[in-house]
Each structure stands twice: as structure tokens, then as C-alpha cells.
Amino acid sequence: SNKSPILPMKPNLFSLPKTAETELGDFEIIPQYNEKENPIHVWRGTPLTKQQWIELLDSNGKVKNPNLVKALIFRGGLAPDIRAEAWKFLLGLYPWDSTYSTRQKILAEKRVEYNSYMSQWKSITHVQEERFHEFRDKKHRIEKDVLRTDRTHPLFEHDSSDPNSGLNLLRRILLSYSFYNFDLDIFKG
């Protein structure tokens, strides 16, 4: 039959879903879909490259068009060599209108803050830890989680006796985060 597909080949990502108003509230209308009759063809762009990233910044390092950057990343992802910088924008560490110098200041402040949290848990003596059950329990759960980390990943395949191994980096990050937000019980062991 010549039925048009329910989902277009390249869906308009910026259109709002259809909704229905009922006594119970507004609900999104999800059309009935038969994948055998209308297979989904996902369109994916190419990853944003380092050269494209550089072209999307002005001479001071500000992102010229944040919405375009977000759309390009959503559709194609990021090339590995720009992920470390781009994710800082995506996660809200860097404001989209920040300059190179502003970002350097932000990183310096965050390093000081991280070192402050790390020094807090590192300064706890063994005797203090014995009396501080909340920290002791969190540390134990973190240790269990770190030891269960996937050792086939290149970052975590080396022995944890190396102080700079990925496992020890992960341990330090998790312990420091536990002091950043001590009440948050994300560690489920």
C-alpha cells in the first residue's frame, strides 16, 4: 500500500508532541506504530570535530551559537579529542558565553574546591574513622564499588597499588564527592 510512514525518515526534533487535555490533566498522544509496516530509520550525523568546534568559538573563546552546538552534538555526538572540553559545557560547568580566561578561572576554583574536599577525608585519622560510622560506611561501600569496576576498560585495568591508577583516581573522586554532598546516599554497595 502507499501509506505514508507514521514517523518521518528525519523527524523534526524541535516539534512539540501532540497532547490531549482530559479531566486528569494533559497527556502526550503516542500514535499507534507498527515497526514491521513502517521500520524506523534513525538518521545520525557525523560527530562534531575539533576543527568544527574551533570554528564555533569566537576569538575570545565564547560559543557563537550554543543551540547549534547542542543540535550538532545531539545528532552526531563528539569526536574523542573534544569531549573533555565540550562536556564541561554540556554539564553546566562552563557557561555557554564564557571566554577562555573565564574557563581557566572556573577550573582553578574547582581544583581548589576539590582539593579542599579531598583534604577533609584524607585528614580523618584511623581513630576518628572508627568513631565516624557514616564516613566509615560510605568509604566501605565506595571501596566495594571501586573493586567491582569493569577491569576490561583501559582506565581501570592496571593494579590499584599504583597511586595514579584509574581505580585510585575513581576512589579519590568518590570519597571527595561524598564530602561535597555528605547527605546524598548514592552509594548502594
pLDDT, one tens digit per residue, over 78-120 is 999 999 999 999 999 999 999 999 999 999 999 999 999 999 9
pLDDT classification of 48: cutoffs 50, 70, 90: very high
Contacts 24+ apart (CB under 8 A), 2-6: 3/37, 3/38, 5/38, 6/31, 6/32, 6/33, 6/38
CA atoms within 13 A on the CB side of 186: 9
Identify the residue with better confidence: 41 or 173: 173
Greater pLDDT, 90 or 185: 90
DSSP letter, residue 25? E
Amino acid at 75: R
What is the model's pLDDT at position 2? 45
Alpha-carbon distance of 100 to 89, in angstroms, equals 12
The stretch 167-175 carries a mean pLDDT of: 93
Q: What is the per-residue pLDDT across 140-169, written as a single tens digit (0 to 9) for each?
A: 999 998 888 888 888 888 776 787 789 999
pLDDT at 75 over 70: yes
Comparing 22-36, 61-75, 80-94, 146-160, the range with the smallest average pLDDT is 22-36
The DSSP symbol for 22 reads E
- Mean pLDDT confidence for 63-89: 95
The conformation of residue 146, written as its DSSP 8-state character, comes to H
Q: What percent of the chain has a predicted confidence (pLDDT) above 90?
A: 59
SS3 139: helix
Q: What is the mean pLDDT of the chain?
A: 85
Task: Report the distance separating Cα 163 and Cα 160, nearest Å.
Answer: 7
> Which parts of the chain fold into alpha helices (H)?
50-55, 66-76, 83-90, 100-122, 126-131, 133-147, 166-180
Decide if 149 contacts 170 (C-beta within 8 A): yes
Q: Percent of the chain at pLDDT above 70?
A: 85
Q: What angle do CA 68, 72, 73 make, to 5 degrees?
A: 115
Query: Does the pLDDT at position 132 exceed 70?
Result: yes
